[in-house]
Amino acid sequence: MRFLWMVFALSCAALVAGLPFKKRASVCNGHAELCSRSYANVTFIGAHDSFAFSDNSLAVSRDQRLNISEQLDLGVRLLQAQSHVEDDELHFCHTSCKLFDGGPVLHYLKTVKTFLDTHPNEVLTLLFTNPEGQPVDAVWKPLFDQAGLTTMAFVPDHVPLKYSEWPTLGQMINTGKRLVVFLDSGANTTAVDFILPEFQMVWETPFSVTNSSFPCSIDRIQGPLPSEDHLYMINHSLNKNYFPIGPGIIVSDPVDANITNSVLSIMENVRGCAPLANKRNPNFILLDFVGDGEAIEAMEVLNGFQSLDPPAANSPVNANSGVRLDMEGGRFGGLEMFLLLIVPVVVEMFYV
């Protein structure tokens, strides 16, 4: 009998030894400490209109200089994009595909898949807008399927998920469900369980802000959860109104991006929003021209990995002088500034 038990034990040991062993994540999004921290208790830097990138200073509809891969390599962990149908295919476009066409959504998602495959210890969030109300089951899900992302997407056991109910980054990485997908409108978790309704779980501050002090308020939110049970996102992108009549013509401001994206400016915005969020740090900070300034440094401060030092004399904004320094890469000359002012007006006249 004892012999039979020994045979059984050895057989079980051999069986277990033959099973694939998945190593648990020891570093999550760049820090070991984040593995035990809830997704809801981490601040992520986001790229607004992440697809709308160009290094051409006259491309007035761009909102980024870095491409998607460069944004991700920088440390961006939320990608935002606006969808429109163009030539019977879903594209990411800025207001209109005639203004800026970022290409098919499928190509974009394949870039995301490549990043996730080569960075197995990273949690990434996608936040897409759906202004034309494209159905999630017939249009959106097939694109995620084709890109190979569906199996990586996080699926909560119920929706909406409270702030206190999110898993840790380590849990998300260890289970392979490390892609969070939000849609601003049209989400239907009965039809597609991983495309989550943004405003039921995330509130936002106002967007298209033209006031550099970034006054904070809860701008968009849906029930049934109260605001304190939501995650929240700060829209920290500064715009210029180049035609202040009626709704005006609002264009992102590349000239002052290094100031807007400084630690000083971001932290002031965070302080202004804290009373609306039980003094919690934001979950997402959405930026234009995310490679300019100190976005990643601000994220490190908010996540507790860097101290908040006084602004240095050579920082984009000197606290004593308040003087803006020249942009990296050179000044805007008179011709460039004239074109930056007039081109948006002409484009809007013809295409809107």
Which two three-digit tokens encode residue 91? 């594209």
| Model pLDDT for residues 84-141, shown as the tens digit of each residue | 999 899 999 988 888 888 899 999 999 999 999 999 999 999 999 999 999 999 999 9
Cβ atoms < 10 Å from Cβ of 157: 7
Q: Structure tokens of 63?
A: 């909102």
How much is the mean pLDDT over the chain?
84
Highest mean pLDDT among 225-229, 241-245, 311-315, 339-343: 225-229
Q: Is the pLDDT of residue 337 over 70?
A: no
User: DSSP secondary-structure letter at 166?
Assistant: P
The per-residue pLDDT for range 23-59, each reduced to its tens digit, is: 688 999 999 999 999 999 999 999 999 988 988 776 7
The pLDDT-based confidence of 285 (bands split at 50, 70, 90) is: very high
Other residues' Cβ atoms within 10 Å of the Cβ of residue 160:
19
pLDDT tens, 188-199? 999 999 999 999
Assess contact for 336 and 57: CB atoms under 8 A.
yes
DSSP letter string, 252-276: E-STTHHHHTSHHHHHHHHHHHGGG
Mean pLDDT within 166-194: 98
Q: What is the pLDDT of residue 22?
A: 57
> Does residue 277 register a pLDDT over 50?
yes
Q: Tell me which residues are annotated as active site.
A: 48, 94
Q: How many CB atoms lie within 10 A of CB 72?
A: 23
- Across 2-11, 202-211, 273-282, least confident range: 2-11
Q: Which two tokens stand for residue 18?
A: 């033959």
What percentage of the chain reaches a pLDDT higher than 90? 64
Instruction: Look at residue 107 in the predicted model and tell me its pLDDT.
Output: 98
Q: Tell me the pLDDT tens digit for each residue of 205-214.
A: 998 777 777 8
pLDDT of 338 above 50: no
Domains of the chain: 26-309+333-351 (3.20.20.190)
Which residue, 77, 149, 151, is CA-closest to 108?
149
Spatial CA neighbour of 327 closest among 236, 250, 259: 259
Q: Distance between CA atoms of 181 and 69, rounded to whole angstroms?
A: 18
pLDDT tens across 78-100, in order?
Answer: 999 999 999 899 999 988 888 88
**Residue 319 pLDDT level (bands cut at 50, 70, 90):** very low
Give the residues across from 70 on adjacent strands: none
pLDDT tens track for 290-302: 999 999 999 999 9
Please write the tens of the pLDDT for every residue from 62-75: 889 999 999 999 99
pLDDT at res. 117: 99
Residue 338 host element (H or E): helix 334-351
Spatial distance between the Cα atoms of 291 and 239, rounded to a whole number of angstroms? 17
